[in-house]
Copies of this chain bind each other. A is one copy, B any other.
Amino acid sequence: MMLHFHLQTTDGAARAGTLVTAHGDVPTPTFMAVGTAGTVKAMTADAVRATGAKIVLGNTYHLMLRPTAERVARLGGLHKFMDWPGPILTDSGGFQIMSLAKLRKLDEAGVTFQSHTDGSKHFLSPERSMEIQHLLDSTITMVLDECTKFPATHDEAAASMRLSTRWAKRSRAAFIPRDGYGQFGIVQGSVYEDLRRESAAALCDLDFEGYAIGGLAVGEGQAAMFDMLDITTPLLPAEKPRYLMGVGTPDDLLGSVARGVDMFDCVMPTRAGRTARAYTAAGVLNLRNARFIDDSSPLDPTCACLCCTRHTRAYLHHLFRCEEMLGPMLLTTHNLTYYQSLMIAARAAILAGNYNEFSTRTRVGWASGDAG
């Protein structure tokens, strides 16, 4: 049986479910920590597990260049390589090629590009992306798509979405089904309702194990993103998981869960952790701020992570001031714990039928803090 999804309950459009995979179950809604190059930055795999994470994301673009998919396969697959026996979702590589690679050229066949690290030339097609993700032993394989640039005219967005649809068909044909593994299609269409509808319909015909919503959080703003979710999630089958790619802030997550999204990934908690920014129940704190120099209180008194139970804000401030690696390590630990705890609390609220109250209460908390 392929990877599948149990929808446990709904509260409005918000959903609580369980993703059942070859590498373990994932209660949803869930946030996937980003493990770009086979490591969640600044974290041991044990530390990632301790945040409550059940599934992580790997980036095909980075891994195909270093250490290469063939090498990961020879070494026993990405799970073993990075000490993560749990589920792993890999993206298709398309997004990073467009944002990182040099001299890229896209046509019907695929994308030719040069590595951003050594200038070496590479080609990625839907078939090759599926092969790479297979070699990585990815639990959830993403189709190769073109993430439509923003802003795009209706014509541009339509042409881009239709290319992604053709690539989705080729990706589906190239995917090798295995028990407990699955492949997700990606809805495109920019901010145009008719295009989102066309994309979703075409992908549903291909009967993927799950559906991602792509091309959002690319500059359109939260309101436009939520509008697109309001339009798109009802077009997707209720019994399949829904994944909003590359999103977002804690507030983005709450609003998207309310609109029926089950899965997220984002570099925000890890990247913020390396730049002294902490997500807390009282909002965002910048630990470089001099006002923390004598602050003997924990970073987030409501948090049970290593960083919050063992150290003071003054210590974290000191670590960032001295550019000690432990600063990013502790703050990444906290931020990922915060994101996981938020998803766990959201799930509990959905199961209890009070997601809206939970969501409002959480937002009030962010606004009430002295965070700035």
Contacts and interface: CB of A to CB of B under 8 A. Distances in A.
Given A39-B324, A75-B312, A294-B71, A44 B318 contact: no
Interface of A: 37-39, 41-46, 62, 66-67, 71, 74-76, 81-83, 293-294, 296, 306, 310-312, 314-315, 318-319, 321-322, 324-326, 328-330
A77 to B, nearest CB: 12
A44 B332 CA distance: 13
Contact of A329 (B62, B293, B318, B329): B329
Given A37-B324, A45-B310, A71-B314, 14 more contacts: A38-B315, A39-B319, A41-B324, A42-B329, A66-B321, A67-B314, A67-B318, A71-B293, A75-B312, A76-B296, A81-B314, A81-B315, A82-B315, A83-B311
Contact of A39 (B37, B294, B312, B326): B326
Contact of A328 (B75, B83, B315, B325): B325
Nearest to A39: B326
Contacts of A81: 312, 314-315, 318
A330 B311 CA distance: 22
11 contacts: A37-B318, A38-B318, A39-B319, A42-B326, A42-B329, A44-B330, A45-B310, A46-B306, A71-B293, A82-B315, A83-B310
A223 B142 CA distance: 62
Given A44-B306, A44-B329, A293 B324 contact: no
Contacts of A315: 38, 75, 81-82
Q: How many chain copies?
A: 2
Contacts of A319: 38-39
Nearest to A67: B318
Nearest to A309: B83
A44 B75 contact: no
Contacts of A39: 319, 324, 326
A345 B64 CA distance: 43
A38 to B, nearest CB: 6
Given A324-B41, A326-B39, A296 B66 contact: no
Contact of A294 (B45, B46, B74): B74
Nearest to A328: B325
Contacts of A293: 67, 71
Contacts of A62: 322
A37 B328 CA distance: 15
Nearest to A37: B322
Given A76-B296, A314-B67, A42 B330 contact: no
A234 B62 CA distance: 59
Contacts of A318: 37-38, 66-67, 81
